[in-house]
Structure 1
Amino acid sequence: MAADLTIRVSMRATDPDIADAMKVMKAAFPPQYGEAWSAPQLSGMMSLPGSLLAIARLGDLPVGFALLRSIAGEAELLLLAVHPDHRGCSHGRRLLDRCMNEAEGSGAKAMFLEVRSGNPAIHLYSKAGFFQYNHRPDYYVGSNGERFDALSYKIMLGHD
């Protein structure tokens, strides 16, 4: 019997949580785009108020993660990744939905994210209701010095 996906959210990520996120990050973010974070960057963000790390697992296997920061009525999805071997199974959408719920629960009225132009995840964000509000030319610098544009997205949370 296949294991069900579980998502564990932590505001105080442990070293094993960071290690699990890094396993997914290394597989999910091709180095040529310059989007991946280092373990110290991830740990550093987790030390700031309002940060949370969501790890998606199938049994004990980490298959995805998301990093969210909520502060002053706004939330930013800093990272979301699904291991390439586990894409197309709605894991990304479940992580995104969980982050949106966590953000709303923290009092955030809006959620923001930035994504590289051409990233296939744009479809996920658009389908979830995010809309593009900004374009930053040459924002990301890839491993070979090539530059890539960033697109800024936003969604309003809650039902006022």
Structure 2
Amino acid sequence: MEGAFDPAFGEAWNRRQVSDALVLANCRCHLLDVKLQVPDANGKAAGFTLSRQILDEEELLLIAVLPAHRRNGIAGALMDRLIADARARGVTRMFLEMRDGNPAEALYRQHGFEPVGRRPNYYNRGSIAGIDAITFALGL
């Protein structure tokens, strides 16, 4: 899934970082294949979310869809699953953070997320310097 992240921004988590997060009791992952189904043991994921819950709040850490499968509804279906699962667990507010100008902003807004904060010049990695991070929130 590392191919789902633009290398210019240095945003990709590697397999070990994702695996390490998943052993934590408060982290969750949702996977979907190209048919918007949860892949079986032999199936291949086309996209995933990684989130963590603290008390009644949840943070979306990552959402990724392989480039070959974008614009097919996978990211929207992943967001729907993430939000429904969080509600079922009693989460009352969700957060996410993205770099200013990230095209995923439209997806987040379609799902009701609104900007609540900004970190000036937060992203200063690779060939990118001085891009703000924007925090979004969604009340559930």
Q: Give SS of 2:116's match.
A: strand
Whichever residue aligns with residue 89 of structure 1, its letter is N
Paired with 1:155 and 1:77, the residues of 2 have a C-alpha distance of 11
Q: Give SS of 2:62's match.
A: strand
TM-score w.r.t. the length of structure 2 is 0.88
CA deviation map 1:13-47 (0-9, x unaligned): xxxxxxxxxxx2x2211111121112222122112
Q: Does 1:155 align with 2:138?
A: yes
Q: Tell which deviates more after alignment, 88-97 or 42-51.
A: 42-51
Q: Unaligned regions of 5+ residues in structure 2, if any?
A: none
Paired with 2:130 and 2:30, the residues of 1 have a C-alpha distance of 29
> Which one of the candidate residues 100, 113, 127 is aligned to 1:130?
113
Q: Which residue of 1 aligns with 2:75?
A: 92
Paired with 1:32 and 1:147, the residues of 2 have a C-alpha distance of 13
Paired with 1:29 and 1:89, the residues of 2 have a C-alpha distance of 17
Paired with 1:45 and 1:61, the residues of 2 have a C-alpha distance of 20
Whichever residue aligns with residue 85 of structure 2, its letter is E
- Residue pair 2:65, 2:74 contacting (<8 A) in 1 also: yes
Paired with 1:143 and 1:136, the residues of 2 have a C-alpha distance of 18
- The sequence identity of aligned pairs, in percent, is 38
Instruction: State the shift of 1:56 in Å.
Output: 1.1
CA deviation map 1:89-144 (0-9, x unaligned): 11101001100111111111000000111111000001111000001112123323
Whichever residue aligns with residue 116 of structure 1, its letter is R
Paired with 2:59 and 2:33, the residues of 1 have a C-alpha distance of 22
Q: Unaligned regions of 5+ residues in structure 1, if any?
A: 1-23
Paired with 1:145 and 1:89, the residues of 2 have a C-alpha distance of 29
- RMSD between aligned residues: 1.4
Q: Tell which deviates more after alignment, 27-36 or 141-150.
A: 141-150
